[in-house]
A and B are shown apart, each in its own frame.
Chain A
Amino acid sequence: MIGPKTAAVQSNLIAAENLAAGYREKTVWRGGNFAFGRGEFIAVIGPNGAGKTTLFRVLLGLQQPISGSIRIFDAPPKRGNPRIGYVPQRHMIDSETNVECLELVRLGLSGKQWGFNPFSHKERDAALAALEAVGATELAHRPLGVLSGGELQRIFLAEALVSSPDILLLDEPLSNLDLRRETDLLHLINDVVRSRGVTALLIAHNINPLLPHLDKVMYMANGRIATGKPSEVLRSESLTALYGVQVEVLRDPHGNVAIIGVEEHHGDMA
Chain B
Amino acid sequence: MTINPNLLADLQQMWKYEFMQHAFEAGTIVAVIAGITGYFVVLRRSAFTAHAFSEIGFAGAAGAVLWGIPPIVGLLLGSTIGGLTIAALGRRAANRDTQIGIVLAFALGLGLLFISLYAGYATEAYSILFGEILGISTGAVLLTLVAGAAVLMVVGVLYRPLLFASLDEDVAEAKGMPMLLIGTAFLLVVAVAVSFAVQVTGVLLIFSLMVTPAATAQYLSRRPQRAMMISVGIALMATWAGLFVGYYTPYPVSFFITGIAFGLYLLVRGLQLVIKPHRLSGLPVAS
Contacts and interface: CB of A to CB of B under 8 A. Distances in A.
Interface string B222-256: 11110100000000000000000000000000000
Interface in B176-232: 176-177, 218-219, 221-225, 227
Contact of A112 (B164, B167, B225, B281): B164
Q: Considering residues B156, B157, B174, which has the most beta carbons from chain A within 10 angstroms of its beta carbon? A: B174
B283 interface: yes
A98 B283 contact: yes
B43 interface: yes
B224 A99 contact: yes
A47 interface: no
A145 B283 contact: yes
Given A88-B171, A88-B174, A100 B287 contact: yes
A114 B160 contact: yes
Chain A, interface SS category: loop
B170 interface: yes
A79 B174 CA distance: 7
A111 to B, nearest CB: 3
Given A80-B175, A111-B160, A100 B222 contact: yes
Given A107-B168, A114-B160, A159-B168, A80 B177 contact: yes
Contact of B160 (A100, A107, A145, A159): A107
A146 B158 contact: no
Interface size class of B (residues with CB under 8 A): 20 to 34
A144 interface: yes
Chain B, interface SS category: helix
B156 A116 contact: yes
Contacts of A93: 167
A113 B45 CA distance: 23
A107 B45 contact: no
A113 B182 CA distance: 12
Contact of B168 (A80, A104, A116, A145): A104
A114 B161 contact: yes
Contacts of A156: 171
B172 interface: yes
B262 interface: no
A103 B225 CA distance: 10
B45 A94 contact: yes
Given A99-B224, A159-B171, 13 more contacts: A61-B176, A79-B176, A80-B176, A81-B176, A86-B174, A95-B281, A95-B283, A97-B43, A100-B223, A103-B163, A107-B168, A119-B225, A143-B283
Interface of B: 43, 45, 156-161, 163-164, 167-168, 170-177, 218-219, 221-225, 227, 281, 283-284, 287
